[in-house]
Amino acid sequence: MWDIVQRVREAFWNEDVWLPPNTTWADMTPGSRPGVTMTDYRHLYFPLPLALVMLGIRYLLEKYWFTPVGISLGIKNVRPKKAPPNIVLEKAYSTYRRQLKHKQIQGLAKQLDWSERQVERWLRLRYSQEKPTTLVKFTEEAWRCLYYLCSFTYGLVVLWDKPWFWDINECWNGYPYQSVSTDIWWYYMFSLAFYWSLCVSQFFDVKRKDFWQMFIHHIATIVLMSFSWICNLPRIGSLVLVVHDCADIFLEAAKMAKYSGYQKICDTIFAIFTILWITTRVGIYPFWIIHNTSIVAPTLLPMFPAYYIFNGLLLLLLTLHIVWTYLILKIAYKALNAGQMEGDIRSSSSNYSEGDSKSQ
């Protein structure tokens, strides 16, 4: 059995797949070249416990900082009215959730000798019990806003004196024998820890319409960063990180303003976010980074299979960006017509409505 595992492992980590031509794993081992501090795949375990620490920090900040701030802004932590206990309806709700069809509701009404409207009202109350309060939503956005602000600021500071920040072609100068500095090491580790924490917390946070899109985004980001670390590509990876963090600061801030009741501030921040999003995610990202990785890089260094995997994941992120850009522009268009931002499709939680059951 162990021999089979070893063979599969050796086949998966084939040097011809993961490394440039005429390069071996021994060449990529830390300390194999004097004066060159290369990435170490074993360090990818470090973000896992760090993610747990990050979740603990998030809990403390939400409880002892963000919640008091939210309350001081007038956000009420009011729980919705609970549905009265009912064994029949509770069983139907637990089984079907929001998938109850109109005929099923008719059957439940006959079984309980209720009207259909009474059954629908009970289902709405039952669903609303699980909906998070506005204060909970505010604290979640506050945590993400703080993280993106710190991450973007730190990334900008550590990249400012790096040659590849000003000339992206420097990402390939001397590859694969490039040193990774301590500040870039921490940038990667904290970013990986954050996305690992999101993969866990997403199942407990406010349920959002784009749950699976976001989950795919988090997994793709982790895989992308891990591959780039194994292949000693943190230079281009650090550029991807700093470009992605910029607009998210304003997205989370806009949501915080909306939950706080400051609609005009929300609209202003959302307008800034939209401009930054389009500039970074569908401007700088594809025309600076992906253009370089797809067209320029193959002329500067020999290609290898793992590089195409790496570039394919970058293109997957771009696909998600295009989908989200369409949704964001829809919101902006509706906001211009309505005079205010009505909500963020990317983050809206699902609502049970009487019309939902009737339409089914």
**CA–CA–CA angle 74, 78, 83 (5° rounding):** 165
pLDDT at residue 357 above 60? no
- Return the higher-pLDDT residue of 212 and 139: 139
**Distances in whole angstroms, Cα of residue 39 to Cα of each of 30, 169, 177:** 7, 20, 10
The predicted structure's pLDDT at residue 11? 84
Q: Look at residue 340 in the predicted model and tell me its pLDDT.
A: 57
Tell me the backbone φ, ψ of residue 339, rounded to 5 degrees: 90, 0
State the Cα–Cα distance between residues 267 and 265, nearest whole angstrom: 5
Cα dihedral 110, 111, 113, 116 in deg (nearest 10): -50
What pLDDT score was predicted for residue 156?
A: 97
pLDDT greater than 50 at residue 341: yes
Query: Any idea which of 120-124, 223-227, 322-326, 344-348 has the lowest mean pLDDT?
Result: 344-348
Q: Please state at what angle helix 234-260 crosses helix 134-159, rounded to 10 degrees.
A: 150
pLDDT value at residue 169: 96
In this prediction, residues 209-225 reach a mean pLDDT of 82
Q: Which of 341, 320, 321, 346 is nearest to 331 (CA)?
A: 341
- Among 122-131, 137-146, 218-227, 278-287, the minimum mean pLDDT is found in 122-131
User: Given pLDDT bands bounded at 50, 70 and 90, which one contains residue 348?
Assistant: very low
| Residue 354 pLDDT greater than 50, yes or no | no
Q: Which amino acid is at 305?
A: P
Q: According to the model, what pLDDT value does residue 89 have? A: 79
Domain with CATH 1.10.10 in the chain: 87-130
> What's the pLDDT at 98?
65
Helices marked H in the chain: 2-12, 15-18, 25-28, 47-61, 67-72, 87-96, 102-112, 116-130, 134-159, 163-166, 182-201, 211-230, 234-260, 263-279, 291, 297-300, 305-338, 354-359
Q: Give the CA radius of gyration of the chain.
A: 25
Fold entry, domain 87-130: Arc Repressor Mutant, subunit A (1.10.10)
Average pLDDT over residues 275-301: 95
Mean pLDDT of the chain: 86
Residue by residue, DSSP assigns 280-291 as IIIIIIIIIIIH
pLDDT tens for residues 45-60?
Answer: 999 999 999 999 999 9
Tokens 């406010």: give the residue: 206
Which residue's structure tokens are 């866990």? 200
Lowest mean pLDDT among 212-226, 227-241, 303-317: 212-226
Q: Are 119 and 89 in contact (CB under 8 A)?
A: yes
User: Among 16-25, 67-76, 349-358, which stretch is predicted with the lowest mean pLDDT?
Assistant: 349-358
The CA-CA-CA angle for residues 181, 197, 54, to 5°, reads 70
**Statement: residue 343 has pLDDT above 80:** no
Most confident among 35-44, 69-78, 164-173, 323-332 (mean pLDDT): 164-173
Rounded Cα–Cα distance for residues 66 and 333 (Å): 31
pLDDT for residue 297 is more than 90:
yes
pLDDT at 349 over 90: no
- d(Cα 290, Cα 85) in Å, to the nearest integer? 56
pTM of the model: 0.83
Query: Residue 350 in 3-state DSSP?
Result: coil
Helix, strand or coil, per DSSP, at residue 42: helix
Q: How many helices and strands, by DSSP H and E, does the chain display?
A: 18, 0
Per residue in 121-154, pLDDT tens? 887 887 777 778 899 999 999 999 999 999 999 9
